[in-house]
Structures are given as structure tokens and as C-alpha cells.
Amino acid sequence: MSTPINILVTLDAGYLPPLKVMLWSLAANNRNQDFHIWLVHEKLTATQIEEVRDLTDALGWKLTALTTKIDLTDQPALIKRYPPAMYFRLLCGQVLPADVHRMIYLDPDIIVINDITPLWELDLQGNMLAAAAHRGVTKLVDNVNQLRLGTTTSYFNSGVLVIDVDQAREKIHLSDITAAIETYHDYLILPDQDVLNFLYGETILEIDEEVWNYDTRKYLVYQTRTLSKHDIHWVMRHTRILHYCGTPKPWDATSDSKFTSLFLNYQQQVQRLLADLKPTEA
């Protein structure tokens, strides 16, 4: 087995079921790779963590659960209204052990459909982060967000990140994040993602969204942009990560998109696996 790839997840209890689907899809499509899952949370119970550990143990992976709290006691009300977990991915350098140097962060509303080793081995070229930008057919989204946030870089999605943890320890601080929110709160739409772009956009290496952070809502957009070359067959061969951005989520009864059934299939598989792990009653 190869050296483990570090995977960071930060979530509350509501996202535990899709997290298990994401982890199972990661295992199913990276069978010769070992992973170390780092679960950073504020108030998951021991029982909830053990549910995740049942799966990672079955996959032969290590799980490290780290409880952390963001102290917002002295912050104004507008800061406190955002959930503390929002900060965890950006502040991972303050939470992770000193011997952890690189991390892939993945949102739980993701499935992995091909090998992600190239993302782990990506040359960051001196940057602190790598991320994809969801642009649509043109760069209009970038232009709108540059005007809104006063930035000059692409507008990056925070759902998939490669993080140079050593640089993050040095450069990312809670005080900078809260100051940015307090100053620009009237302009923030997705606070954690907006802060990522406003404060750290200049330190982000752009990666291909259709490979590493495919927005499942935008199949027709990608088709249009590539003159129908990137059809579903292309996606299944070349895309590594599908991201179920927005709503409804694929586990919701109202979801019926091109990629819903793929998620539901992985969901069924992991549910069967976990059911088989339960001890049978005498």
C-alpha cells in the first residue's frame, strides 16, 4: 500500500450520510491507494464519529477526528451568525498536527469517480492552495465577482482544495477572516468562499473544473462550451470529482438530474456494506 493521501473533511451531523457515500466512492475508484481521513468538527458525538470509523476501518484507512472550537465570544453579532464550521477548512493549519504538510479538502456533497492521485501529486508552484473556478459558458461569473469583491483573480470554488498546510499555518488567521467579514459583510453571498477569494485568491493555483470539481448542475453548459465534445462518456473517462453544488442534493427526493442515479448507486452500495458490518442478532 502506498503512502496515505490526507483527506480533510469538516462538517456537522447533517452531512454524515453523504460523507459516507463520498468516502465509499473514493475507495471504489482508488483501490490501490491508502487514505488518512481527517475529520475536523465542533460537536459530533462519539457515536457519530464511530459510525464513520466503522467505514474507514472496513476500508483499511486511518481516521483522525479532531474537535475544535472557534472562539467568537468577542466578535460582533454579524460574525457570530455564521456557523463556526465555516472556518474550519481555512484554519486547518491551526488544527492539524505539525507533521501534516499537505491536505486535500473535499466537501461531503461530492463523489469521486476516478483516480485522484494526480491531485495529491500536483505541483503547487509555490502557491498555498489549488482550486477550480466554476465559470459557465463565459468568464462573466469571474467578472461579476471581481467587481463585487474587488479582486483580480478567478472566483474559485471552495469545495475541492489542495492545501499547503505549512503555508496555511503561516498565512491564514482567524483575525484576518473576521475582519474581512466585518468590513465586507454587505457584499458576501457565500461567506467562506467569498473570504477564500478575497483574502487568498492571489495564492491559488487554478485546476481544471471539469476534471477536479465538476458542477453537476452544469452538464449542458460544459457541453456548450466544448461544442458537445465533453459528453457523459467523456465525463466518465476524464472527470475525477463530481460536485453536487446547490440544491436539491442528490439524496433529496426532488433530485432527478443526469447525475442523481450515480450518487444513489454509491449510496446503495455503502448502505449495504455498512449493513453487512453490523453484528447479527443471536
Instruction: Examine residue 282 and state whether it is found in any structural domain, yes or no.
Output: no
CA distances from 161 to 7, 8, 120, 137, 193 (A): 10, 9, 10, 23, 11
User: Cα separation of 64 and 8, whole Å?
Assistant: 10
Per-residue pLDDT tens digits of the chain, which is 282 residues long: 578 999 999 999 999 999 999 999 999 999 999 999 999 999 999 999 999 999 999 999 999 999 988 777 777 776 777 777 778 899 999 999 999 999 999 999 999 999 999 999 999 999 999 999 987 644 545 555 554 556 667 889 999 999 999 999 999 998 998 888 888 777 777 778 888 888 999 999 999 999 999 999 999 999 999 999 999 999 999 999 999 999 999 999 999 999 999 999 999 999 999 999 987 654
Domain count, the chain: 1
Dump pLDDT digits (tens) for 256-279.
Answer: 999 999 999 999 999 999 999 987
The β-bridge relationship of strands 35-41 and 62-67 is: parallel
What pLDDT does residue 281 have?
A: 53
- The answer as to whether 25 is a domain residue is yes
Residue 195's CATH number: 3.90.550.10
Q: What is the pLDDT of residues 108-121, one digit of tens each?
A: 999 999 999 999 99
Secondary structure (DSSP) of 229-245? -S-HHHHHHH--EEE--
Report the pLDDT value the prediction gives residue 137, as an integer from 0 to 100.
Answer: 47
Q: Is residue 77 part of a domain?
A: yes
Q: What pTM was estimated for this model as a whole? A: 0.92
Q: Residue 80: which domain range?
A: 5-277
Q: Are 28 and 266 in contact (CB under 8 A)?
A: yes
Say if 75 falls within a structural domain.
yes
